Amino acid sequence: MIEVSAFKWVPPFAQGVVRDLRVRWALEEAGYGYDDRLLGFEDCASSAYRAWQPFGQVPAFRDDRVEMFESGAIVLYIAQKSDLLMPYDEAGRAMVMTWLFAALNSVEPYVTDLAAIDLFHAGEAWTVERRPQVEDALRRRLGDLQTALGDRQWFAGDQFSAADILMATVLRGLRHTAILADYPALSAYLERCTARPAFRRALAEQMAPFKANEPA
């Protein structure tokens, strides 16, 4: 049986964007059932959990063959088992891997830099000077990303792929801003991704424990 670690509860600003969503989404697209292993923040500090996820973060993943952490690696592992997330031909697989890493390595840092300022350090004096630089750099990256997408539907070819799971979940990290509205092709792309039934199911699965474990 597949097991995925996730939080029992997170503050509202993080609900719906915790990274186990990527793994849940990939599993839903591929049609694999799974159990979520729900953790409190204290569980993440335990040596038992650190042996599975060394940084005490979510998600971690195991099935009857492997144990893993890092959401991108896990999504890639799932994709390698399903032609619904990655084509069989070598050129197609290379393109999926390329865009999967582009999402994590060339786009996500710009998104998380802004989110850190807006969500984790809101109101701190240093952010006033730093934020415009971070937003400018992000906007340049989004402009290039939109140009690269062109009028295609998906990043890595004609078919939805694991790369789109990573890219869409990265772009959702901007949901607390209106920035994406200035990039209509990226906005439409994100709508297309998040309208997928597998995404809706994955999101509902992440959100359910948050509602159940809401602090009094």
Ligand X SMILES: N[C@@H](CCC(=O)N[C@@H](CS)C(=O)NCC(=O)O)C(=O)O
Q: Which residues bind ligand X (CB under 6 A)?
A: 18-19, 56-59, 70-72
* Distances from the Cα of 202 to the Cα of 2, 6, 117, 127, angstroms: 15, 12, 27, 34
**For residue 35, what are the β-bridge partners?**
3
State phi, psi for 111 to the nearest 5 degrees. Answer: -70, -45
Tokens of 104: 């994590």
In angstroms, give the least distance from the CB of 88 to ligand X. Answer: 26
Identity of the residue, 161 or 206, whose beta carbon is nearer to ligand X in the bound complex: 206
Instruction: Please name the residue ranges forming H helices in the chain.
Output: 20-30, 41-44, 47-52, 71-79, 90-101, 108-115, 125-149, 162-171, 184-194, 197-212
Identity of the residue, 157 or 170, whose beta carbon is nearer to ligand X in the bound complex: 170
The CA distance from 195 to 164, in Å, is 13
In angstroms, give the least distance from the CB of 112 to ligand X. Answer: 9
In angstroms, give the least distance from the CB of 9 to ligand X. Answer: 12
Q: Which residue is nearest to ligand X (CB)?
A: 57
Identity of the residue, 71 or 161, whose beta carbon is nearer to ligand X in the bound complex: 71
In angstroms, give the least distance from the CB of 5 to ligand X. Answer: 9
Identity of the residue, 185 or 207, whose beta carbon is nearer to ligand X in the bound complex: 207
